[in-house]
Homo-oligomer: A and B are copies of this chain.
Amino acid sequence: MATGHTVKAFDDDLGQLRALVAEMGGRAEQALADAVQALVRRDLDAAVRIVEDDKRIDELEVEVERHAIRLIALRAPMADDLRDVLAAMKIAGVIERMGDYAKNIAKRIPVLSDIKGIEPISILPAMARSVSDMVHAVLDAYARRDAAGAVRVAESDRTVDDFYNSIFRALLTHMMENPHTITASTHLLFIAKNLERIGDHATNVAEMVYYAATGHQMAERARGGDPLAAEEE
């Protein structure tokens, strides 16, 4: 049976694990904000730095995994505690992908030689802010095991999807009217899609946080709509 001593040791270990996940999340959030700023400012040095810094997020994911394995092997946590450890691993995996999307945005910056005339780019920073807010809020909900906060994050994915649909339509119209900007516009389309995907991933994390806090699945209506459905119109 678990003694007070081993419970304390487990809690300390889990706290370290959660701190590593929080550090990963903070880095991914920063990478996202930096990538969109670098895009708008056409800052190639920043773009290189973001790609480089993503390695640290990847390393942190490996650390989370090692820490989790050691924790399971040493402490043999049962039921809810084991679920907490595995949730930390899963959330770390999602954050690693968020970092990849931010890196992907940064990688497109040198390719985009001329985006001055493409108006839809003016909406991207606002979309990125919404996505950044989601990522920040979901990490906060994770740290505080806050189910209501997780629901709010999932609900705000609709705003991000609306942004995506607006940009998608605006870019398509722009491409039809200015066929010479098709290459640049296509890259911007992929960038908007990357932002939309980060929002989806934040929603996935929100669902995990909600489940961990309540033991129930989040209701369907809390989650954002499907941007593909809107693209059809």
Chain A interface residues toward B at CB < 8 A: 65, 68-69, 72-73, 76, 78-79, 82-83, 86, 89-90, 93, 104, 107-108, 110-111, 172, 175-176, 179-180, 182-183, 186-187, 189-190, 193, 226, 228, 231-232
* Copies of chain A in the complex: 2
When the two chains form the complex, which single residue of B69, B104, B179, B186 contacts A82, counting CB atoms closer than 8 Å?
B69
Known: A111-B232, A179-B175. A72 touches B72 (CB 8 A): yes
Contact B186 A172 (CB under 8 A): yes
User: Across the interface, which residues of B come within 8 angstroms of A193, CB to CB?
Assistant: 190
Contact A182 B176 (CB under 8 A): yes
When the two chains form the complex, which single residue of B73, B79, B89, B232 contacts A73, counting CB atoms closer than 8 Å?
B79
User: Across the interface, which residues of B come within 8 angstroms of A72, CB to CB?
Assistant: 72, 82
How far does the alpha carbon of A76 sit from the alpha carbon of B71 in the complex, in Å? 12
User: Across the interface, which residues of B come within 8 angstroms of A176, CB to CB?
Assistant: 179-180, 182
Known: A79-B73, A86-B65, A110-B232. A186 touches B189 (CB 8 A): yes
User: Across the interface, which residues of B come within 8 angstroms of A107, CB to CB?
Assistant: 226, 228
- Closest B residue to A79 by CB, please name it: B73
User: Across the interface, which residues of B come within 8 angstroms of A76, CB to CB?
Assistant: 76
A218 to chain B, nearest CB (A): 14
- Closest B residue to A183 by CB, please name it: B172
User: Across the interface, which residues of B come within 8 angstroms of A231, CB to CB?
Assistant: 111, 187
A63 to chain B, nearest CB (A): 14
